[in-house]
């Protein structure tokens, strides 16, 4: 397939017939062939496992520039947002499409406080989970359960969308903290209207009736930054899941619960837990990073260097750069000396100098350094992906909302190339095997 002289179409010659397909361009110069009439006009479908070459939608929520290592939320560089904004401000930006005024931010924060509790009857749900349940399992189940307690409001009214969105943003944090408290057998700590979003979360996580938890502004700032880093990332796996489920007109809670399940996968958000487990293993085995690198390069070995590589970034992930800075700052300010940080830095240095990683353009991704910071802050390993989910929520909501408002979107229903039998003669039970 080649582009013809008219830049607006690409010609495909198939079976002696020329089919002209329109070409669309995004505002970053990425061109895309609009194949919507391909099957009708040529009887063809496209084959693209993993959708590596497929644009599933037009979006203006966020943009990942994998060549230049840039990440934009609504046009703003993630570096500027992490430096100057709170997570709540960035959540507003993603959902509403612009930065809030002071009054809008105050109103949004007040709404977040008002909706931060979960229905008392939901407390009993936590007791139904066996000891050792992964908090991501609890989180996804609790989020879908919210739909029974807080039926979705009509998204056509801005104020009503605000309420559903703020309910989710606020309650996800409460559910996350409650699932942690349940897992360690401590009483739940309720949200407080006196505290900001991140301070409230840290307080619900770490205070208890017998410990006077001092909310450290250094940790609150780090928490804000880390959540901002995760707030959106164009059409990644969990966001695409949210959109896919949303395309069937499922309610917002169901879509977000599905997104949480996708995020849990170790190739996606679950990698932050895997990174720490990998670093701990290296530490236990004497700190030799060479063995892991050799194993990651060996095609017969299923081990991958967790926290390394990305579908889009072919240079250093800008989030990883910021996460590394946050990590050294937090550990420095807390006076924590974590041998895992040293191992991570050694691993990064060796991998970047290795031709296997260089040729494939594999660099540290966002998950490489975040876990070490979470560890220093006191989060247990299995909560790391939950933190990713809290961060990603405003992006999921914004993307879901964009899908709903996009007149070109329809139910997502890919085609396949069927490779199975054409006609298998039926075999009655008594004649099988
Ligand atoms: N360790 C060793 N080899 C790797 C790695 C890795 N972490 N990542 C990619 N490769 C190799 C891969 O084996 C392949 O080699 P070859 O061309 O010889 O077959 C080549 O690099 C291209 O990899 P791919 O699997 O085709 O790339 P992908 O775009 O399908 O996968 C990825 C992207 C993130 C799933 C993958 O890099 C990976 O598994 N990384 C480790 C898990 C991880 O850190 N995930 C978090 C991603 S960032 C957070 C998020 O947004 O989810």
Atom in ligand 1 nearest the alpha carbon of residue 368: 44
Nearest CA to ligand 1 atom 44: 307
Whether 343 and 316 map to the same domain: the answer is yes
Whether 331 and 319 map to the same domain: the answer is yes
Nearest CA to ligand 1 atom 47: 268
**What is the 298 CA–ligand 1 centroid distance (Å)?**
13
**What is the 342 CA–ligand 1 centroid distance (Å)?**
23
Confidence of residue 2 (pLDDT cuts 50, 70, 90): very low
Question: What local confidence, expressed as pLDDT, does residue 4 receive?
Answer: 44
Atom in ligand 1 nearest the alpha carbon of residue 296: 2
For 131-140, what is the mean pLDDT?
A: 92
User: What is the share, in percent, of the chain residues with pLDDT greater than 70?
Assistant: 96
**What is the 311 CA–ligand 1 centroid distance (Å)?**
7
Give me the residue label for tokens 């409460």: 174
Whether 163 and 22 map to the same domain: the answer is no
Question: For residues 94 and 272, is the Cβ–Cβ distance under 8 A?
Answer: no
For 100-105, what is the mean pLDDT?
A: 97
Three-class SS state of 60: coil
For 18-30, what is the mean pLDDT?
A: 95
CA dist list (Å): 97 to 90, 91, 108, 226, 255: 10, 10, 14, 21, 21
Nearest CA to ligand 1 atom 27: 311
Q: How does pLDDT run across 210-244, given as a tens digit for each residue?
A: 987 899 999 999 999 999 999 999 999 999 999 99
> Domain containing 26 — which CATH number?
2.20.28.60
Question: For residues 186 and 208, is the Cβ–Cβ distance under 8 A?
Answer: yes
Atom in ligand 1 nearest the alpha carbon of residue 237: 52
For residues 219 and 222, give the distance between their C-alpha atoms in angstroms, rounded to a whole number.
5
Q: Which of 53, 268, 309, 395 to mutate to test the pocket of ligand 1 (most atoms within 8 A of CB)?
A: 309
Whether 187 and 242 map to the same domain: the answer is yes
Whether 174 and 301 map to the same domain: the answer is yes
Confidence of residue 164 (pLDDT cuts 50, 70, 90): confident
Whether 38 and 79 map to the same domain: the answer is no
Q: Tell me: pLDDT of 423 over 80.
A: yes
**What is the 47 CA–ligand 1 centroid distance (Å)?**
21
Atom in ligand 1 nearest the alpha carbon of residue 275: 44
Q: How does pLDDT run across 229-283, given as a tens digit for each residue?
A: 999 999 999 999 999 999 999 999 999 999 999 999 999 999 999 999 999 999 9
> Domain containing 373 — which CATH number?
1.10.580.10
Task: Identify whether 3 is part of a domain.
Answer: no
- Point out the residues that are catalytic: 310, 367
**What is the 195 CA–ligand 1 centroid distance (Å)?**
40
Nearest CA to ligand 1 atom 30: 311
Whether 118 and 79 map to the same domain: the answer is yes
Give CA torsion, residues 164, 168, 174, 175, to 10 deg: 120
For residues 15 and 18, give the distance between their C-alpha atoms in angstroms, rounded to a whole number.
8
Confidence of residue 153 (pLDDT cuts 50, 70, 90): low
Mean pLDDT of the chain: 94
Whether 111 and 50 map to the same domain: the answer is no
Domain boundary among the residues 23, 46, 65 is at 65
Task: Identify whether 433 is part of a domain.
Answer: no
For residues 360 and 352, give the distance between their C-alpha atoms in angstroms, rounded to a whole number.
11
Whether 387 and 342 map to the same domain: the answer is yes
Nearest CA to ligand 1 atom 17: 360
Whether 115 and 178 map to the same domain: the answer is yes
Confidence of residue 408 (pLDDT cuts 50, 70, 90): very high
**What is the 129 CA–ligand 1 centroid distance (Å)?**
33
Helix crossing, 158-184 with 102-114: angle to 10°?
50
Three-class SS state of 340: helix
Atom in ligand 1 nearest the alpha carbon of residue 269: 52
**What is the 310 CA–ligand 1 centroid distance (Å)?**
6
Question: What local confidence, expressed as pLDDT, does residue 6 receive?
Answer: 47
Instruction: Output the ligand 1 site: residues, CB below 6 A.
Output: 50, 233, 236, 267-269, 271, 296, 304-311, 360, 362, 365-367
Whether 96 and 51 map to the same domain: the answer is no
Task: Identify whether 300 is part of a domain.
Answer: yes
Task: Identify whether 423 is part of a domain.
Answer: no
Q: How does pLDDT run across 282-332, given as a tens digit for each residue?
A: 999 999 999 999 999 999 999 999 999 999 999 999 999 999 999 999 999
Question: What local confidence, expressed as pLDDT, does residue 156 receive?
Answer: 54
For 22-48, what is the mean pLDDT?
A: 96
Whether 386 and 349 map to the same domain: the answer is yes
Task: Identify whether 237 is part of a domain.
Answer: yes
Give the chain's domain count. 2
Nearest CA to ligand 1 atom 32: 310
For residues 343 and 364, give the distance between their C-alpha atoms in angstroms, rounded to a whole number.
14
Task: Identify whether 428 is part of a domain.
Answer: no
Question: What local confidence, expressed as pLDDT, does residue 157 receive?
Answer: 56
Nearest CA to ligand 1 atom 11: 360
Question: What local confidence, expressed as pLDDT, does residue 7 receive?
Answer: 65
Task: Identify whether 429 is part of a domain.
Answer: no
For 122-137, what is the mean pLDDT?
A: 91
Q: Which residues contact 78 (CB under 8 A, 6 or more apart)?
A: 71, 72, 228, 229, 318, 319, 322
Confidence of residue 200 (pLDDT cuts 50, 70, 90): very high
Domain boundaries, position 113: 69-417
Question: What local confidence, expressed as pLDDT, does residue 418 receive?
Answer: 98
Task: Identify whether 373 is part of a domain.
Answer: yes
């Amino acid at each position: 397939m080649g582009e013809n002289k008219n830049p607006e179409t690409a010609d495909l010659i198939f079976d002696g017939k020329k089919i002209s397909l329109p070409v669309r361009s995004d505002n970053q110069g990425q061109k895309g062939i609009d194949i919507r009439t391909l099957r009708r006009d040529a009887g063809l479908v496209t084959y693209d496992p993993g959708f590596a070459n497929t644009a599933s939608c037009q979006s203006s929520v966020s943009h990942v520039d994998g060549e230049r290592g840039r990440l934009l939320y609504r046009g703003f560089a993630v570096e500027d947002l992490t430096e100057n904004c709170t997570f709540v401000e960035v959540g507003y930006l993603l959902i509403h499409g612009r930065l809030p005024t002071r009054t809008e931010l105050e109103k949004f924060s007040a709404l977040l406080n008002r909706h931060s509790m979960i229905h008392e009857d939901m407390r009993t749900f936590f007791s139904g989970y066996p000891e050792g349940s992964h908090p991501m399992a609890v989180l996804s189940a609790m989020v879908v359960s919210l739909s029974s307690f807080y039926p979705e409001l009509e998204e056509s009214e801005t104020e009503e969308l605000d309420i559903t969105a703020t309910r989710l943003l606020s309650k996800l944090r409460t559910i996350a903290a409650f699932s942690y408290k349940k897992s360690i057998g401590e009483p739940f700590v309720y949200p407080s209207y006196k505290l900001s979003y991140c301070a409230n979360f840290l307080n619900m996580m770490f205070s208890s009736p017998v410990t006077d938890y001092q909310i450290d502004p250094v940790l609150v700032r780090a928490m804000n930054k880390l959540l901002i880093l995760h707030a959106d990332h164009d059409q990644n796996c969990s966001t695409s899941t949210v959109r896919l489920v949303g395309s069937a007109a499922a309610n917002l809670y169901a879509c977000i619960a599905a997104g949480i399940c996708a995020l849990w996968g170790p190739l996606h958000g679950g990698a932050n837990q895997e990174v720490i487990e990998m670093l701990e293993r290296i530490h236990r085995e004497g700190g030799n990073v060479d063995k892991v690198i050799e194993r990651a390069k060996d095609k017969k070995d299923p081990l991958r260097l967790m926290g390394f590589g990305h579908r889009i970034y072919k240079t250093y992930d800008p989030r990883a750069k910021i996460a590394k800075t946050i990590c050294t700052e937090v550990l420095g300010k807390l006076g924590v000396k974590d041998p895992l940080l040293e191992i991570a830095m050694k691993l990064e240095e060796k991998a970047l100098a290795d031709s296997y990683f260089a040729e494939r353009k594999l660099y540290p991704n966002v998950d490489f350094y975040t876990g070490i910071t979470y560890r220093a802050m006191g989060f247990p390993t299995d909560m790391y992906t939950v933190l990713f989910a809290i961060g990603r929520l405003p992006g999921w909501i914004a993307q879901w909302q964009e899908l709903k408002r996009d007149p070109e979107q329809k139910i997502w229903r890919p085609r396949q190339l069927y490779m199975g039998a054409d006609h298998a003669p039926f075999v009655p039970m008594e004649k099988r095997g």
